[in-house]
Amino acid sequence: MSVSSPAIIPLSESVQLDATTLTPFPHSRKIYVEGSRPDIRVPMREISLSDTQLSTGEIEHNPAVTVYDSSGVYSDPAVKIDVRQGISDVRSNWIIERGDTEVLSTVSSRYGKERLDDSRLQSLRFAHQMRTPRRAKMGRNVSQLHYARQGIITPEMEYIAIRENQRIETLSVADLANRHQGESFGASIPHVITPEFVRAEVARGRAIIPANINHPEVEPMIIGRNFLVKVNANIGNSATTSSIAEEVEKMVWSIRWGADTVMDLSTGKHIHETREWILRNSPVPIGTVPIYQALEKVEGKAEELTWEIFRDTLIEQAEQGVDYFTIHAGVRLAYVPLTAKRTTGIVSRGGAIMAKWCLAHHQESFLYTHFGDICEIMQAYDVSFSLGDGLRPGSIADANDAAQFAELETLGELTKQAWQQDIQVMIEGPGHVPLHLIKENMDKQLKECDEAPFYTLGPLTTDIAPGYDHITSGIGAAMIGWYGCAMLCYVTPKEHLGLPNKHDVREGIVTYKIAAHAADLAKGHPTAQVRDNAMSKARFEFRWQDQFSLGLDPLKAQEFHDETLPKESAKVAHFCSMCGPHFCSMKITQDVREYAKQKGIVDVKIAVEAGLAEKAEEFTAQGAKLYR
Angle between helices 502-523 and 244-256 (to 10 degrees): 30
The one among 19, 78, 174, 624 contacting its own copies by CB under 8 A = 624
Query: Is residue 436 near its own copies by the rule CB under 8 A?
Result: yes
Q: Which of residues 254-313 bind its own copies (CB under 8 A)?
A: 267-268, 292, 295-296, 300-303
Q: Is 467 in the site for its own copies (CB under 8 A)?
A: yes
Sole binder of its own copies in the list 126, 482, 490, 542 (CB under 8 A): 482
Please state the closest distance from residue 416 (CB atom) to its own copies, in A: 21
The residues in 399-418 that bind its own copies, with binding defined as CB under 8 A, are 399, 402, 406
The one among 106, 150, 238, 306 contacting its own copies by CB under 8 A: 238
Closest approach of its own copies to the CB of residue 327, in Å:
16
- Of 60, 192, 592, 628, the one binding its own copies (CB under 8 A) is 592
Q: Tell me which of 3, 96, 116, 565 binds its own copies, using CB under 8 A.
A: 565
Is 349 a binder of its own copies (CB under 8 A)? yes
CB of 92 to its own copies, least distance (A): 35
d(CA 272, CA 85): 18
Nearer to its own copies, 50 or 462 (CB): 462
Is 180 one of the binding residues for its own copies (CB under 8 A)? yes
Nearest CA to 399 among 425, 428, 431, 373? Answer: 431
Residue 497 in contact with its own copies, rule: CB under 8 A: yes
State which of positions 351-370 bind its own copies (CB under 8 A).
351-353, 355-356, 359-363
Q: Is 595 marked as a binding-site residue?
A: no
3-state SS of the chain: helix, strand, coil percent to 5? 45, 10, 45
Beta bridge partners of 288: 325
* Residue 525 annotated as binding site: no
Q: Which is nearer to its own copies, 158 or 407 (CB)?
A: 407
Q: Does 556 bind its own copies (CB under 8 A)?
A: yes
Please tell me whether residue 560 binds its own copies under the rule CB under 8 A: yes
Q: Does 589 bind its own copies (CB under 8 A)?
A: yes
Measuring CA to CA, which residue among 266, 357, 399 is closest to residue 320? 266
Does residue 594 sit in helix, strand or coil? helix
Segment 598 to 617, residues that bind its own copies, using CB under 8 A = 599, 601-604, 606-608, 612-616
DSSP line for 204-220: HTSEE----TT-TT---
Does residue 2 contact residue 16 with C-beta atoms inside 8 Å?
yes
Q: Do residues 163 and 221 lie in contact, with contact meaning Cβ atoms separated by under 8 Å? A: yes
Whose Cβ is closer to its own copies: residue 2's or residue 240's?
A: 240
> Toward its own copies, which CB reaches closer, 112 or 236?
236
Helix or strand holding residue 88 (H, E): none
Spell out the SS3 assignment of 291-346.
HHHHHHHCCCCHHHCCHHHHHHHHHHHHHHCCCEEEECCCCCHHHHHHHCCCCCCC
User: Which residue of 344, 417, 421, 545 would you call a contact of its own copies, by CB under 8 A?
Assistant: 344
Closest CB to its own copies among 78 and 340?
340
Range in contact with its own copies (rule: CB under 8 A) among 9-17, 109-117, 280-288, 533-541: 533-541
Going through 15-140 in order, the beta strands assigned E by DSSP cover 28-34, 41-47, 52-53, 59-60, 65-68, 101-103, 134-136
Residue choice 464, 567, 568, 569 for contact with its own copies (CB under 8 A): 464
Question: CA–CA distance from 515 to each of 421, 427, 472, 494 (Å)?
Answer: 34, 19, 12, 18
- Do 1 and 15 touch, CB atoms closer than 8 A? yes
Is 597 one of the binding residues for its own copies (CB under 8 A)?
Answer: yes
- Give the number of C-alpha atoms closer than 13 A to the C-alpha of residue 352, restricted to the C-beta side: 12
If you write DSSP's letter for every residue of 403-426 in order, what string do you get? HHHHHHHHHHHHHHHHHHTT--EE
Query: Is residue 103 part of the contact set for its own copies (CB under 8 A)?
Result: no
Site membership for its own copies, residue 336 (CB under 8 A): yes
The total of other beta-carbon atoms located within 10 Å of residue 296's CB is: 17
Distance CA 242, CA 423 (A): 34
Select the span of 35-43, 54-62, 120-128, 178-186 touching its own copies (CB under 8 A): 178-186
Region binding its own copies by CB under 8 A among candidate stretches 49-57, 219-227, 252-260, 618-626: 618-626
Label residues 356-390 b or e (16+ Cβ within 10 Å = b): bbbeeeeeebbbbebbeebbebbbbbbbbbbbbbb
Binding site for Zn(2+): what residues are annotated?
A: 432, 496
Which residue ranges are tagged as binding site for [4Fe-4S] cluster? 576, 579, 584
Binding residues: 234, 263, 292, 328, 348-350, 389-392, 428, 432, 455, 496, 576, 579, 584
